[in-house]
Structure 1
């Protein structure tokens, strides 16, 4: 049932659910927030929370059909998202609204190792997903993805699926086949001159000897470098979005992620890369100089529309690579975190938890513990030996 929201700012009731206890209402700012915010912060927070909860109530469940969530769901979401908001302010020591994906990631990780019941963890995550959905539909933000999935009705925490080692090799090969430089005839004379220098550098030929036929010998390295770097570093979606050219140290085969640009603002990180990935990044940085959408920005990767990659665009890319590599993902959680979890799983298996912790940039060893599991291949080898 849709309701014409009566707004009152005394406890900020936005409508009474007839299925709730008498007098219970959807609360914009709970009493737990009393004295937490300044007057100006409270005014701003109330305004945005009213927009968020009203959106959930009227169109949030299916925005394309203007179908809202049940009033009880919005009532519950109001308290659970407010709990997240307060946790974030206390953690950062300052007011911030709306939160960002890295903030939600930190809260979900906090929940994973808290004493909160498993079902409540799942319901908190559902509420935060609803918040992300609102930001996506009303402000164009990428929808959030998390390293952990909690069940709202059931037992436990589920790490996302991961690529097997043969699948990682197939994805790496499929990414090698991605990308082209602009066609010779599509370029203006000025653009062609710049690309001709690039072709000459790649082929090791004098500029004057480069011909139109040489264009067919050159492939683009943009997507290849993005995928290969993620296969090595286990980049989170927001790290792909935040990555800059300054991170790349291909001479030493590492990414250097500074404190202020790291996904969770927890410290400087030096992340190992394979030689082939370092070479791919070197080639990409040279190629990148010729592409107009990178002018005036130090972003390492952008979509063809000049926007940062988001969770959904990365998931679509991975599924496209899976299709090319003939990897079945019908019953799997095939998101960008699938790559990250493969790094953690096999780094732990082939080395140890300390190596996985450093490579994945975890602050707490507890976070890395979920990778302390025996892979399917290793278990199969044991079964073969058992006879």
Structure 2
């Protein structure tokens, strides 16, 4: 921005640290998005990062830094990642989180970039978060998958039809309402009304034993909704009660809250999922953690779900369903990719594009492949 207090020399790393290479502290694409105060803040932040790379980044214990060329490349890639974070959250935000890195690398893995480029981005993220660990005392970031040195990266796996059914059944058995003895007298009275309605009996006839007959619907509704709509982790985090339209069996995601922030989306739900959401919406009223928020699902620690917590949930469901996860790179995106694969197989790319909320059909094209089950059938027929 023209109002930002800098000149060309101020926006370069010192010459003695940058022999033969003009390492820009704040690239123009980032500068153009910032107010004057944000620019001053970001300039200082970036300068510390780049100097750390030059002096210490390669081996902090031995005070060995990277070459100026490596810092030049990593600096621009890190700036592009920062812009992605700002777009992703619709606000200026530093530092980025581990969840941001997970989701960014996932998008990179399924992009049209070359394998070598994907590997360079992964290396940048490791360097970036190593510095953040040094600066803020946080844990270092570890990617859920990596690209080999030749650039032959492979994105994470997806669920087969049988695995989707097994996950759906496992989610149905997951979750409980608060136990009778854990509730205060006041909350017990509130929950008694819910138990009575669920069991279709008068409230004054509800007994403590009835509590054991009523299951919680939070995890079931979250998992089933994701199995239908392929919710990204960020969409699970942003999901609001206002999105839910049970009567029409759809999610209505406004463009202001969609992951790509381009269009309003109306996404189909199955009858089973709509009923699960209806049950959860009723149950949700009894939890005080939801009193002042429209957030549709919160963890037991009262936080919105993120990539890490959703990944742990998926692994628990796989264990319960008897799905082996060794030698696989399963993440929450495995659910999304299964929706894309089988929606394309059952219908067409247009249906997949709408259900997964893609702006471009190019993104959807990666699902234009024959599922493994059908290929296996073809091999059987081939003899």
Aligned match of 2:4: none
Q: Give runs of aligned pairs for residues 140-155 of structure 1, distance below 5 A.
A: 151=147, 153-155=149-151
Structure 1 residue 326: Cα displacement: 1.4
2:219 aligns with one of 214, 219, 223: 223
The more displaced of 326-335 and 300-309 is 326-335
SS state at 2:215 partner: coil
Aligned match of 1:180: 176
Is the contact between residue 122 and residue 152 of structure 1 (CA under 8 Å) also seen in structure 2?
yes
Q: Give runs of aligned pairs for residues 55-134 of structure 1, distance below 5 A.
A: 71-72=66-67, 74-85=71-82, 96-98=92-94, 117-128=114-125, 131=128
| Alignment size in residue pairs | 370
Alpha-carbon spacing, 1:222–1:113, altered in 2? closer, same or farther (3 Å): closer
Aligned match of 2:6: none
1:360 maps onto 2:356 in alignment:
yes
For the aligned residues, what is the CA RMSD?
4.0
Q: TM-score, normalising length from structure 1?
A: 0.81
Deviation per residue, 1:142-176 (Å, 9 max, x gap): 97989xx8847435664431001111111111111
1:47 aligns with one of 33, 44, 47: 44
1:276 maps onto 2:265 in alignment:
no
Structure 1 residue 251: Cα displacement: 1.5
1:328 maps onto 2:324 in alignment:
yes
Aligned match of 1:383: 379
Structure 1 residue 96: Cα displacement: 3.7
Aligned match of 1:199: 195
Structure 1 residue 138: Cα displacement: 4.4
Alpha-carbon spacing, 1:197–1:334, altered in 2? closer, same or farther (3 Å): same
Alpha-carbon spacing, 1:228–1:113, altered in 2? closer, same or farther (3 Å): closer
Q: Give runs of aligned pairs for residues 281-300 of structure 1, distance below 5 A.
A: 281-300=277-296
Is the contact between residue 254 and residue 270 of structure 1 (CA under 8 Å) also seen in structure 2?
yes
Alpha-carbon spacing, 1:287–1:51, altered in 2? closer, same or farther (3 Å): farther
Is the contact between residue 322 and residue 328 of structure 1 (CA under 8 Å) also seen in structure 2?
yes
Structure 1 residue 111: Cα displacement: 9.4
Aligned match of 2:25: 28
Deviation per residue, 1:287-327 (Å, 9 max, x gap): 11111111100100011110111101100110111111111
Q: Quote the Cα distance in structure 2 between the aligned partners of 1:281 and 1:295.
A: 18
Alpha-carbon spacing, 1:86–1:248, altered in 2? closer, same or farther (3 Å): closer
Is the contact between residue 52 and residue 134 of structure 1 (CA under 8 Å) also seen in structure 2?
yes
1:10 maps onto 2:10 in alignment:
yes
Q: TM-score, normalising length from structure 2?
A: 0.82
Gaps spanning 5+ residues in structure 2: where? 1-8
The more displaced of 137-146 and 164-173 is 137-146
1:346 maps onto 2:342 in alignment:
yes
SS state at 2:251 partner: strand
Q: Quote the Cα distance in structure 1 between the aligned partners of 2:199 and 2:214.
A: 8
Alpha-carbon spacing, 1:118–1:332, altered in 2? closer, same or farther (3 Å): same
Q: Quote the Cα distance in structure 2 between the aligned partners of 1:310 and 1:10.
A: 38
Alpha-carbon spacing, 1:108–1:223, altered in 2? closer, same or farther (3 Å): closer
